[in-house]
Structure 1
């Protein structure tokens, strides 16, 4: 076996080891917190069953909270429903699966990025010529940073409102978090409209540069060359 073949074999084994490390980290990030969530859900189900046995009318009130219609002399939309539980149902979903799975996803991505950084490191230029080539126009860069800035603000305000009770209330206190939320919520709501407009403009302007081409398959096959040291073609902006 030649030195080149031995080097290529080591590179392939290293690539597989790095890939499996990232996969295991991502799977662990998702499954470990999910196991805790499932355990909590099982405990809550047992507690609810015990409560039902102690309170024979719990089923009746559960149906009422579920939107069971009754009779009323007042004429109007849904006036015969004693308790409107739609908001409560969404709040339970938001504070339960959405918050839990969202945290798992965010932490999983952060761990994957850190794992890639510490195992692969940053990209390094092999040779600098000193020449600069204009790749993106001024308008393109303005659009990019316009949307990037709004995205960062929306991400901070959105995540702080989603996980604020668990993370920020112990730090800021209830009054401090209430004051922050009163500011963050309208900022998040209004800036989302401007972000949507900017996103539409970017999609329309860059669409022709992001159409799938034959070299994109090769780029995906090599994962952009991030692990095997190759430089697959990517076009101007690979799809």
Structure 2
């Protein structure tokens, strides 16, 4: 086993233990939580090793890095998640490889994603990115729509050809009423998910929690956690 593979295997085992322990503490089954490994800034060789180690879900946040990496790993049984703020001029490229876009936060993006998905003859899953640092109908500092905008945006996705409404995503806010209160933030997201499922019963995906706060996300009820640093190590600086 190469040094890098051994390192990733050890890190992955530690994260797996954390998720399993969090599930036990929350009275949940381990199968209820999917680990998404955030591979941004890391090479395709790492993605290949992760696949060998059993990882099936990987996430990227910049199309210029993700597109060539996904192409290089096209032979692997992976689900690719796009988690970054997405500009409409990158949509066509992203739809070429992303199975899910977790950062849907405006109607113009829904229109672009739908057109690209139809053109590519693909169905793309969409999560509404919720900004818990925003006013009810505002926008967040790091993207996302305020809670008051979820219903309208979800309806747009559900009606858009080539798209599927799968659920909600959030990033623990750095400002506002939930700053430093990850568990409360994730519990709020779960309440919003309950509201969403009244209109869209199949939209039961809740993506929340990262390396530092995955336990709080599991405790609140998240179905997916997005972990980068704890698996891959401290990120190299981008030039």
> Which of the pair is proportionally richer in strand?
2
The bucket for the TM-score relative to the shorter chain is under 0.3
State TM-score, norm by structure 1: 0.25
> Which of the pair is proportionally richer in helix?
1
State TM-score, norm by structure 2: 0.25
Larger radius of gyration: 1
